[in-house]
Structure 1
Amino acid sequence: MSIQLQYVNITVNDTDEAVAFYRDALGFEVRNDVASGGFHWITLGSAAQPGIEIVLSTPHAGRSQADGDALQELLTKGVLPNIVFRTDDLDATFEQARAAGAEVLQEPIEQPWGPRDCAFRDPSGNLVRISQAPAA
């Protein structure tokens, strides 16, 4: 038996702003853009991992009003779980994201636990970390 990650959901305030960040700053490709029943979500992926996608949606998409309100409050506070991506060229990825206007929180540094990484906030305030495995 094998199991693989298929989707990761990222809650955002504005899907258009989020697409610009994840597509232009990080290089993901839009795979699907769906509007259904008053909700909207966008799926993005990477050629490097064709079977794994991220899904961008707003707090109320497919949720009750109360749950959407609670999720919106957590998003506004910036306390939703962070998102960590891996790259084979951290410096180039960092420069691409910075050139696209991403809010830099941490420039690339060596972490005591091994990887080099950097950090950004997406337009909705989600913490996005990008790491590169240590050289073997």
Structure 2
Amino acid sequence: MNFASIRVITDDVDRLVEFYEKVMGITAERPAPVFAELVLPSCTLAIGHSETVSLFGVGSAVAADNRSVILEFRVQDVDAEYKRLKPVVDDWVKEPTTMPWGNRAILFRDPDGNLINLFQPVSEEAIRRFSSRG
């Protein structure tokens, strides 16, 4: 099994796509006005309008109501990303910090309030842990 994507449900696809394009530094693929994919070699971030939820036959998924998932991206230089994203991000949760498990990280919220963690392994153990993950 391969982890293929995570999908964020929103009421404003265009706003969220524009935000993630700036954060991720890539252009989204837009196969439909209500759906977008930001494709990285490791995984895809999909963004779907709340009206698409019914296509899956599920009763509900509430846009902008996530309080349990953090989207995480490994980066080369957390401090450089923090400087680059300062003008883009309105809601900073944690400025650059080295965590007890050996990652240097920043944490912020997207326009819908979803948490995003950009991290960089910095301790010997963390570097070793991520060395085989590509």
Query: Normalising TM by the smaller chain, what interval?
Result: 0.7 to 0.9
The residue number in structure 1 matching 2:106 is: 118
> Aligned partners of 1:4, 1:67: CA distance in 2, in Å?
23
Deviations 1:33-76 (A, max 9, x none): 122xxx71001123xx2x62211112331426x956x422xx44
> Aligned partners of 2:90, 2:74: CA distance in 1, in Å?
17
Out of 34, 50, 53, the residue aligned to residue 59 of structure 1 is 50
Q: How does 1:34-73 map to 2 (within 5 A)?
A: 34-35=31-32, 40-46=34-40, 49=41, 52-63=43-54, 67=58, 70-72=60-62
How far residue 96 of structure 1 moved from its aligned partner, in angstroms, is: 1.8
CA RMSD of aligned residues (A): 2.5
Q: Which runs of 4+ in 1 moved over 3 A?
A: 75-78
> When the two structures are superposed, what TM-score results if normalisation uses the length of structure 1?
0.76
> Aligned partners of 1:135, 1:96: CA distance in 2, in Å?
23
User: Structure 1 counterpart of 2:91, which letter?
Assistant: E
Q: How many residues align?
A: 124
The residue number in structure 2 matching 1:98 is: 86
- Give ranges in structure 2 of 5+ residues lacking alignment: 125-134
> Aligned partners of 2:13, 2:83: CA distance in 1, in Å?
23
Equivalent residues of 1:42, 1:55 under 8 A apart: yes
The residue number in structure 2 matching 1:15 is: 13
- Give ranges in structure 1 of 5+ residues lacking alignment: none
- Give the 3-state SS of the residue equivalent to 1:112 in structure 2: coil
- The share of aligned pairs that are identical, in percent, is 23
> Aligned partners of 1:112, 1:14: CA distance in 2, in Å?
36
